[in-house]
Amino acid sequence: MPTYDYKCDACESIQEEFHGMTETPEIHCKNCNGIMQKTVCQNFNGFILKGSGWTGKDLKEKTYQLDKRREIGKKMALNHDIPQILPNYKGEVCSSWDDAKKLAKEDGVDGLRYEKQVQDLKKQEHTTKEKVNNLIKGTDNG
């Protein structure tokens, strides 16, 4: 329950009273038994919300954790060799995916099947590059 300061109209003494916010009790002075009026507290230091679940505390914690994660992500992206997907056929690195497809065709591999594999590898390569760039920028969410 909140604490309220009351001031006596007759003798001007001040006393604290505890009651609910919606209550409007009639408070009597302990010195002269006069009726007291609610006043604004003169030594009020501020209203503080304690415990978890309050925006200020949780926001600071989330921001700190996100910054830490970004920092770790940057270090990982810059300090580790991330494998690259290069155009290849049967382990032989080619200058382009078209060259790899030509080798596959010459070897009798179904062109449509190999094309699907190439598309999947290109998609995987693009995703990997995006993740590395996001880690370096510190914007990776995953």
The confidence score (pLDDT) of residue 81 equals: 63
The confidence score (pLDDT) of residue 56 equals: 62
Task: Report the relative pairing of strands 88-89 and 14-18 from DSSP bridges.
Answer: unpaired
Neighbours of 74 (CB within 10 A): 16
The confidence score (pLDDT) of residue 118 equals: 76
Q: Which of 15-19, 35-39, 95-99 has the lowest mean pLDDT?
A: 95-99
Give the residue-averaged pLDDT of 99-109.
Answer: 82
Q: Pick the residue with more confidence: 79 or 124?
A: 124
d(CA 90, CA 109): 11
Pair 59, 67: CB distance under 8 Å: no
Give the residue-averaged pLDDT of 30-41.
Answer: 84
CA distances from 32 to 9, 47, 55, 104 (A): 10, 32, 45, 105
Domain ranges of the chain: 3-39, 69-137
Q: Pick the residue with more confidence: 80 or 23?
A: 23
Q: Identity (one letter) of the amino acid at 38?
A: K
The confidence score (pLDDT) of residue 3 equals: 81
The confidence score (pLDDT) of residue 48 equals: 67
Task: Give the chain's mean pLDDT.
Answer: 77
Pair 38, 25: CB distance under 8 Å: no
Burial of 71 (0-12, 13-18, 19+ CB in 10 A): exposed
